[in-house]
Chains A and B, each alone.
Chain A
Amino acid sequence: DQQVKQNSPSLSVQEGRISILNCDYTNSMFDYFLWYKKYPAEGPTFLISISSIKDKNEDGRFTVFLNKSAKHLSLHIVPSQPGDSAVYFCAASRGEGGSEKLVFGKGTKLTVNP
């Protein structure tokens, strides 16, 4: 039972354009969502998060949008850079700050072409 779903296994965009990574969840008890970036053979690195009381959180080139009614969130990267190429994981938890048990999606491999 996949509670967090990332339906696109891969995404390819041109440098300078926008990258949009999507994530859906099924458990309405989730109240905190996080995005992680991961390179091969490395652990995930925290990117950005959002609490369920908000619908948008922005940090530099990264913006996360949350649509609670649709149980959907997305990560926007603008402008995309070749260094952004990695696997992006969406994660959800029931605890503030992502300190509780995290449930991960399968990830989306982003490739930013120069």
Chain B
Amino acid sequence: GAVVSQHPSWVICKSGTSVKIECRSLDFQATTMFWYRQFPKQSLMLMATSNEGSKATYEQGVEKDKFLINHASLTLSTLTVTSAHPEDSSFYICSARERTSGGYNEQFFGPGTRLTVL
């Protein structure tokens, strides 16, 4: 299957700072990337959907000014957690899908980023 990477794999930051997480599709062009968040013992919750070259679509209850998403190229999307607080500590996972002549392919997930806000 296709490979999706995330960087960093884990990050610790102070409350009030901003953190940027990168999601890259390594061997395919991702027209759409999804950002999920997972709290301990909970399901993956979709935060937003980003299409290359356009604004992200956020799920209900997700603050777009706090979680800035940029999908500037077909292989890179970034999630920036602005003014992070301890309650933002979570596991953030991205997924990517490719558009082919036959339609859309399945989503491939990255390994995730563990964010801890002190």
Contact = CB atoms under 8 A, between A and B. Distances in A.
B106 A42 contact: no
Of the candidates A98, A99, A104, the one having the most CB atoms from chain B within 10 angstroms of its own CB is A99
A42 B42 CA distance: 15
Category for how many chain A residues contact B:
20 to 34
Nearest to B4: A43
Contact of A41 (B1, B41, B112): B112
A45 B104 CA distance: 18
A27 to B, nearest CB: 14
Given A4-B43, A41-B112, A41-B114, A95 B93 contact: no
Q: Is the interface of B mostly helix, strand, loop or mixed?
A: strand
Interface string B1-33: 100101001100000000000000000000010
B4 to A, nearest CB: 7
Contact of B111 (A43, A49, A105): A43
Interface in A27-54: 34, 36, 41-46, 49
B49 interface: yes
B107 to A, nearest CB: 6
Contact of A105 (B43, B103, B106): B43
Interface residues of B, number: 29
Contacts of B112: 41-43
B34 interface: yes
Contacts of B6: 43
A97 B103 contact: yes
A99 B106 contact: yes
Interface of A: 4, 9, 34, 36, 41-46, 49, 89, 95-107
22 contacts: A9-B41, A34-B106, A41-B114, A42-B111, A43-B109, A44-B93, A44-B109, A89-B43, A97-B104, A97-B105, A97-B106, A98-B107, A99-B97, A99-B103, A99-B105, A99-B107, A100-B104, A102-B34, A102-B95, A103-B46, A104-B44, A107-B43
| Interface pairs A-B: 8 shortest CB-CB | A99-B104, A43-B109, A104-B43, A104-B44, A106-B43, A98-B106, A43-B111, A44-B109
